[in-house]
Structure 1
Amino acid sequence: VPDGEPTLDINLGQEIKLIKSLGIKIAVITNSSLIDKKIVQENLTEADLISFKIDSVEEEIWRKVDRPNRNLSLKDILNSMLKFKEIFTVEIITETMLVKDINDNNQHIRKVADFLGQLKPSRAYLSIPIRPPAENRVQSPSEEVINQDYHIFKEKVDQVECLIGYEGNAFAFTGEVEEDILSTTSVHPMREDALKDFLRRANSDWLVIERLIKQGKLVESEYEGHKFYIRKLLKQ
């Protein structure tokens, strides 16, 4: 379904079957709003991977961030996700969009992380608003907050990645040291010792990091006594 919620398509399951018959693997990215419907669950079982949107586990915050239909219940949605995970074997990943001063504080993120610990997705993504929002009050958190939230998620989920609006070959070593660092730190904050090891293997030195910070491309942040480095966010 172009530019829309795929689970609204009553033929979704059949369409997935037809496409998979061509040898193509299917991922469904859903806002999760209809996961409590039996027909939706049956349709989703035909996919190879499902991405659930989980921006909050608290009704009030969820309504501020996602603006769902007033007849929807977050409790029903979350419970249905857990039941779906128990019954079906489809791979599940999640995405959580962080909005400054709404759902990005540590206390709230720990509650989301606790839920993810129950759901056990193979990977959890943290994203930020990267397109012009409907309201000017919607802003991205700071790099420091993103770094903190990332590590809170890591306490409950083995694989966590950040989606902060950059594209590139994350983790690939291309020989372009600065681009490799910026690509990697747009997905994962890098700890100081890991970054030093990367530079050593690339036959480079810390001057690269100092230059990127001075150019406003990289930001230093701290978490639990360690220094981390994350790519500077694009400003709208």
Structure 2
Amino acid sequence: MAFGPVRSRRLGVSLGVNNIPAKHCTYSCVYCQAGRTPKPEIERRRFFDPKTVFSQVQEKHGQLISSGGKVDYITFVPDGEPTLDNQIGSSIRLLKEIGPPVAVITNASLLWRGDVVGDLAEADLVSIKVDATDVGAWRRVNRPHGGLILERVLRGISEFASSYKGDLISETMLVGGHGQDVQGIASFLSGLGPLKKAYISTVTRPPAEASAGIPSDAELRSALRIFEENLGRGMAAVIAEHEGDLPYVGSGDLEGEVLGIAAVHPLREEALAIFVSSAGGEWGLVERLVSEGKLVVRLHGGIRYYLARGK
């Protein structure tokens, strides 16, 4: 449930919270690093007791601090859509008692619901996903649940932005060959007054579908220019690099640490080797997990990645 920490350009050193069981999501994005969503869903429900979430994150945070590390954010970034958890508001309130600010990475598809807006109001930072503002691209890229309506989703995002008091950032995943209207996305984001930064991401890890291509450098430069023309200079950034080396936090369960991170963040072979070595482990552990089917290996862009089983 608690994993990492992992490094990100957006949030620095982030202690992850996986509050959703595998692949409970409102979307089945073609680029998703966690694989296809077998059956998208939009009904919220209880998954884990907030007290259990709190105790596991508190323990992990304590291990990190005692080893001389730091945490910039405690971040809800599960293997699914975090707002499907109808207890996320209670979990956020509890986790804020630990100390670091709490962030939520959401695809924003349920922000038209008042209860979701109320829950996320508790967070210190919310990252919203806007990959498309036209129905065609939305269906091609995000493959939403049939009960979702794009107009309502976008209106919900706008209304949330107007009332949210924390730090609001956005992420747009550009997928090669899927006809996204970058100008339309940038124009929409420019209307979100409190937006602190708009990030443009690319498919750097193995996607759910082979058709999810990587945009060219020229396409990324063009997208960044369009975003800055609409949002202002310095208001947008491209994230196209891999994660940094991952510090090991000694929980005494290296296998659990590897599987916990790989369930949400597919790991480059180089980064995984450094992680295992820093824990005093041997590469044989990874080989065993692969032979047992707990880890799978995928090649993407000429790089070997390790993912938890079923991703």
TM-score by length of 1: 0.68
CA contact (8 A) 1:31 1:52 kept: yes
Identity of aligned residues (%): 37
1:119 to 169, 174, 192: 192
Q: Distance in 1 between matches of 2:165 and 2:96?
A: 17
2:101 is aligned, of 25, 30, 39, to 25
Aligned residue among 116, 119, 124 for 1:48: 124
1:202 aligns to what? none
C-alpha distance in structure 2 between counterparts of 1:129 and 1:53, whole Å: 15
Question: How many corresponding residue pairs?
Answer: 170
For the 8 Å contact 2:110–2:156, the answer to whether it is kept is no
> 1:152 matched to which residue of 2?
226
SS at structure 1 position matched to 2:230 = coil
In 1, Cα distance between the equivalents of 2:216 and 2:124? Answer: 34
1:155-189 CA-to-partner distances (Å, cap 9, x unmatched) read: 122421111133459xxxxxxxxxxxxxxxxxxxx
Once the 2 structures are TM-superposed, how far is the Cα of residue 103 of structure 1 from its aligned partner?
Answer: 3.6
**Aligned residues of 1:51 and 1:93 also touching (Cα < 8 A):** yes
Check conservation: 2:177, 2:212, Cα contact below 8 A: no
Q: 1:175-229 CA distances to partner (integer Å, 9 max, x unpaired)? A: xxxxxxxxxxxxxxxxxxxxxxxxxxxxxxxxxxxxxxxxxxxxxxxxxxxxxxx
Q: How many angstroms does 1:134 deviate by? A: 2.5
Q: 1:97 to 1:91 in 2, by over 3 A?
A: same
* 2:197 pairs with 1:130: no
Once residues 77 and 9 of structure 1 are traced to their aligned partners in structure 2, the CA distance between those partners, rounded to angstroms, is: 18
Q: Distance in 1 between matches of 2:107 and 2:229?
A: 24
1:69: which partner in 2?
Answer: 145
Secondary structure of the corresponding residue to residue 122 of structure 1:
strand
Match of 2:282 in 1: none
* Worse overlay, 3-12 or 153-162: 153-162
Show structure 1 runs of 4+ deviating over 2 A. 165-169
Distance apart, 1:235 and its partner CA: 5.1
Post-superposition shift, 1:17? 0.5
Aligned equivalents of 1:19, 1:94: Cα separation in 2: 23
CA distance in structure 1 between the partners assigned to 2:210 and 2:144 by the alignment: 19
CA distance in 1, matches of 2:179, 2:132: 7
Using the alignment, how far apart are the partners of 1:3 and 1:153 within structure 2? 29
Given that 2:129 and 2:172 are in contact with CA atoms closer than 8 Å, whether structure 1 keeps it comes out as yes
- Indicate the larger mover: 112-121 or 160-169: 160-169
If each structure's helix is expressed as a fraction of its own residues, which one has the higher value? 1
Q: 1:142 aligns with which of 209, 216, 226?
A: 216
Q: Unaligned stretches of 5+ in structure 1? A: 170-233
Name which structure has the greater RCO, CA cutoff 8 Å, separation 6+. 2
Contact 1:7 1:30 in 2 (8 A): yes
Alpha-carbon distance in 2 for matches of 1:31, 1:78: 11
Separation (CA, whole Å) in 2 of partners of 1:111 and 1:57? 6
The alignment's TM-score, normalised by the length of structure 2, stands at 0.52
Contact 1:61 1:102 in 2 (8 A): yes
Distance 1:4 1:93, change over 3 A: same
SS of equivalent residue, structure 1 residue 156: helix
SS of the aligned residue for 2:104 comes to: strand
Please, what is the CA RMSD of the aligned residues?
A: 1.9
